Amino acid sequence: MSVTNRATISSTITVSAARQRSGSTSHTDSTKLNYGFPEKHGAASGNSDPVPPQEEGVVNPYLAQWSTKAHKRFMSEVYLKNHCVSEVIWHLADANPKSLIRERSFSGAQQVVRQLDSVGGFAAFPHVVGMCCVLSSLSNIDPKSGSFFCAGELFFRYHEPKFVDNPEYPAGDSFAVDKVKSAKDLFDVVISPNNIGGDLEKVPVKVSNQEFDTWPKGLACLTIKFKGTFAQGFDLRYFPFDVHYLTIMWKLNLVEDSERWGTLCIPDYQYDENEQARASFGWKYGIKALMLPDWNLYEARITFGNAHFLKPEAEPMGHITFWQLRIQREYGFWMYNVVGLSGVIASMSFLVFGMDSENLADRLGVLLTLLLTLVAFKFVIADALPSVPYMTTLDKYLSAGLFMVFITSIAITIGHAYIFEDNGDEHENSTKLDDVDRRYILPVCAALWISFNLYFFSRIYMMRSFVRRTHGKPLPIVYEGKRCDFPVL
């Protein structure tokens, strides 16, 4: 958002008589979208309803904060120390060297909250809201269509002045969102740019006043339930050892005529082991205990900044938060049932060196049988493999097994032809062929196959170490209720 294209910040937003006469609608007009983001400042996303203009002379309490010293302190001591600056929106890892990527774990948002508390908390900055996203359901992870389905809740905390010592809004009570204008305005501007097909369902649940005694007076908490399908690119080159990043983008679609214009958003962390309602698994890691047998889940990650991830200026801006869940495929099944079985079949090609070296036809018959077995095995599991235009790690291993059987067949055929080409004594030729097999063909083929497998499994170990080092340990599986297990084998 360019400073030159904005009006000077003022605590009072008015609609000019000239605009009313001309019938222009300023920034609520629809504009061309770029991946769900407005190309021009203030353009509303197609997922949000148009916001009516401010009435003349009405003071916007959020915009008024931008001219205060408290706001400058918040920007310098909290926001600028934690936000993300990048010219690349969808792929932050590809950002240029001047970009500043500040990604933190879900629990790491606690540091942002502590920094906010150190300068006065939400009460000192009424235009600041803290957002917390907790996932309760995850399914339909589809690499082919590039999408996944999830459901969960959004929690927005902010200071509501009319909640302070007001008998109409008692502390500890909850109210309908429609009865609290600040909450209703916040609900209206929440969208998700990477939601597919506009099927995002948002349901305003409640807005509470000082939900716990440990919270300060006037602290409101807006709860929104959501569910929908979200777009996500999947890279399956390393299947079945692949790691994916399921990202939900949450945007406050703020435009100049919005009732919430001037609001700033930061990540929030509400886990509290002393409060039973905030001490659960989901509040700690950002995702409730999900039973996904095919995947290992890691703690959610958060990146936030203004709507274009540009360097903030001294003016209001839209806000976007990347809520990212990292998942790794559970590859035990593929190791035991595919890699292990195909490796054993390919290794059986060395059994031909125990057969009579003169019987080339019998030896080639065994190798051809193994080759056809591997081909048939690959066709059997084809439906379970991802259909992609490139070779995955599993494809490479299966192809290596086929190549090993093929190389063994070529080697013993060439050896047989070389030894028997002079038509010498048959017994002597047979002895020579056995010697060639033991000294050259078997050691070379075995060395190739063993070296490849050592390299393959060492890469798996290195991959596991890298994931553990960068992602930490997978989230523990929490079982609700008593389990009754009886191991059969």
Task: Compute CA distances 465 → 206, 235, 392, 400, 471, whole Å.
Answer: 44, 20, 20, 25, 10
Residue 349 CA, chain-centre distance (Å), reads: 43
Q: What's the rounded Cα separation, in Å, for the pair 149 and 130?
A: 25
| pTM recorded for the entire structure | 0.78
Cα–Cα dist 2/51, whole Å: 22
* β-strand pairing of 243-252 with 190-191: antiparallel
Digit-coded pLDDT (tens) for 189-218? 999 999 997 789 999 999 999 999 999 999
Residues 489 and 430: beta-carbon distance below 8 Å? no
Query: 405 and 375 in contact (C-beta within 8 Å)?
Result: no
DSSP lists the bridge partners of residue 328 as: 243, 296
**Cα(307)–Cα(48) distance, integer angstroms:** 15
The model's pLDDT over 283-316, given as tens digits with 9 standing for 90+, comes to 999 988 777 888 989 989 998 888 766 666 667 8
Nearest to 466 by CA among 143, 212, 241, 159: 241
The predicted structure's pLDDT at residue 318 = 82
CA angle 203, 46, 262 (to 5 degrees): 75
pLDDT at 93 over 60: no
- Tell me: the pLDDT tens digits for 103-115? 889 999 999 999 9
Torsional sign, CA 338, 343, 349, 354: negative
Please give the Cα distance from 65 to 312 (Å, whole number): 16
